[in-house]
Amino acid sequence: MPFKISALASAVRRGLNSKWCWRSIVGLFVLETLWLVFSAQYPMAFDENYHFGLIRLHAEQWTPFFTVQPHNASVYGAVVRDPSYLYHWLMSFPYRLISLCTHNQTAQIIFLRLINVALFTYGIVLYRRIVRKIGVSRALTNALFAVFILIPVVPFLAAHINYDNMFFVAVPLTILLTLRLMDGFAYKRIGALNLLALLAVLFLSSLIKYPFLPVFAATGLFVAWRLWRTQLLSRAGLRSFAASFRPLPWVKQWLLVVVCLLSIGLFAERYAANIVTYHNPVPACDAVISEDECEQYGPYGRDHSLKQKRPASFHANPVVYGWQWLYGMWYRLFFAINYNYANSPPLLIISVTAIVMAVLLALGMAARFRPLFAGQPARQLIAWVTLGYILALFADGFSAYNKTAQPVAINGRYLIPFLPFLFAFGGLAWAQLLRGHLAVKAAFASVVIAIFLLQGGGTMTFIVRSNDTWMWNNGAVRAANRVVRSAVWPFVIGKNTY
């Protein structure tokens, strides 16, 4: 019997370690997202109409700058000084292209959704490179990403027109460029190509979505600290940079310098100018345009209304808010939601399994904290960036809670770009704790993946919880979703528990 268990565990490990396993994971993810692209009615709930509207607004001119607030653009906030514009401007070019081919809005939306699926899929490939680079085995990497793509909101977000999908590329691209730069520090080298490319990505990514700023700050501080530790924050470092820059072809030299200066200039035009004019890098809407105009902008209107109702005796308790924040993040990673913001609760088995996994991963990291990070600058970088972002996200939410007395804007999708890193650290910790126990690791990975596959993980949560009104008004689309729903429904345990 022990022999059979060992043979089975080895077979599971070989399966997870194979190339076809990774290809199957990517293929399944693409299938999930395409199903949503062609099924879910516009606008999908994560602000798809907001992003599509801004893309169309940017398509009315060639530059990304508005000298004055565009007419009838108040529903999008203070567009004229919004720092999160790069995604919309870049996406306006494929929109212009598809608009030449068809004026059918459904076709335009599906086309732009497909680009977002491609962005997110590329981001997954980049995350895998990082996870492998920090020492996670191929088998464990595949197991972690199999679970990741089966978190219901992950494929749901990827199928949206949403700047979060470009943000999902910007984070791992930043980490990869930083790791490549830091690889040279051990040899007293500063790679000019990697440094200038990293600077450009940092400045430009901050214009995709302003919550990238904590990633920028954490990355910059960590690189500066590593330069100081390796004695490269000196003339020796400048000489090393120059020695690396000179051998580059002149075309590449000029391109790097121009792109870097352009990215800094764009960053300064928005953030530095906002600080000078409004004393805030991301000014409040009513600091830029009138309050009446701002009330047409959903988040501002919601917060403004809640502020008026805030009890004078209210005192924000960080512990109370902390529990609300954790619950909201969990709920909104596993729930289903339609175009009209009607939502259905998470499916029982996968959502409870996720809680158990989160606790185990946290305990594993706590138990192996020192060996996990000591003498591991790559892991330290990722940990600092992740921690910095999560703390900034929590602080921003708590600030809003203090002003409105309500836990607003708590969305699980905000954590998605950092879940692969948390999975990787927890997986590494348990791989160390269970060293020599192949059967236990294989059994745990198999059970968790099976639960997510068979109990409504990924797109299945949306299909199981939805009805015809959630879908495009197309008979074939609605019929296909009904068929899948009726086939899956009997096997989902606890679907009526909540």
421/390 Cα distance (integer angstroms)? 12
Q: How many CB atoms lie within 10 A of CB 192?
A: 22
> What's the pLDDT tens digit per position in 341-359?
999 999 999 999 999 999 9
Close Cβ partners of 73 (under 8 Å, ≥ 6 residues apart): 57, 79
Q: Taking residues 292-311, what's their average pLDDT?
A: 93
Q: Taking residues 164-193, what's their average pLDDT?
A: 96
Q: How many CB atoms lie within 10 A of CB 286?
A: 16
Q: Taking residues 262-285, what's their average pLDDT?
A: 97
71/289 Cα distance (integer angstroms)? 12
Six token digits for residue 188:
């007293």
pLDDT of residue 317 exceeding 90, the answer is yes
What band does 374 get if pLDDT is binned at 50, 70 and 90?
A: very high
pLDDT score recorded for residue 438: 81
pLDDT of residue 59 exceeding 70, the answer is yes
pLDDT score recorded for residue 104: 97
pLDDT score recorded for residue 2: 53
Partners of residue 337 on adjacent β-strands: 343
What band does 15 get if pLDDT is binned at 50, 70 and 90?
A: confident
For the chain, percent of residues with pLDDT exceeding 70: 98
pLDDT of residue 300 exceeding 60, the answer is yes
pLDDT of residue 3 exceeding 60, the answer is no
pLDDT score recorded for residue 4: 61
Alpha helices in 246-368 (DSSP H): 250-267, 273-278, 285-288, 291-294, 298-309, 318-334, 348-367
Q: Taking residues 282-295, what's their average pLDDT?
A: 95
pLDDT of residue 72 exceeding 90, the answer is no
Give yes or no for a contact between 192 and 239, defined as CB atoms under 8 angstroms apart. Answer: no
Close Cβ partners of 214 (under 8 Å, ≥ 6 residues apart): 388, 389, 391, 392, 393
Close Cβ partners of 8 (under 8 Å, ≥ 6 residues apart): 439, 442
E strand or H helix at 205:
helix 192-205
Domain positions in the chain: 2-491
Give yes or no for a contact between 76 and 54, defined as CB atoms under 8 angstroms apart. Answer: yes
What band does 156 get if pLDDT is binned at 50, 70 and 90?
A: very high
End-to-end CA distance of the chain: 41
Decide which of 438 and 348 is more confident.
348
301/334 Cα distance (integer angstroms)? 27
What band does 244 get if pLDDT is binned at 50, 70 and 90?
A: very high
Residue 353 C-alpha from the chain's centroid: 22
Six token digits for residue 165:
């999908």
pLDDT of residue 294 exceeding 80, the answer is yes
Q: Taking residues 29-50, what's their average pLDDT?
A: 97
195/232 Cα distance (integer angstroms)? 13
What band does 498 get if pLDDT is binned at 50, 70 and 90?
A: low
Is the omega angle on the peptide bond into residue 43 within 30 degrees of 0, that is, cis?
yes
pLDDT of residue 376 exceeding 80, the answer is yes
Q: Which residues of 50-87 are buried (b: 16+ CB within 10 A; e: fewer)?
A: bbbbbbbbbbeeeebebeebeeebbebbbbebbbbbbb
76/56 Cα distance (integer angstroms)? 12
pLDDT score recorded for residue 5: 59
| Residue located via tokens 């009330």 | 295
Q: Could you give the count of Cα atoms lying within 13 Å of 313 in the half-sphere of its Cβ? A: 0
> What's the pLDDT tens digit per position in 127-151?
999 999 999 999 999 999 999 999 9
What band does 13 get if pLDDT is binned at 50, 70 and 90?
A: confident
Q: How many CB atoms lie within 10 A of CB 37?
A: 21
Closest CA to 411 of 401, 397, 392, 427: 397
Q: Taking residues 48-71, what's their average pLDDT?
A: 95
Average pLDDT, the chain: 95
179/172 Cα distance (integer angstroms)? 10
State pTM to two decimals.
0.96
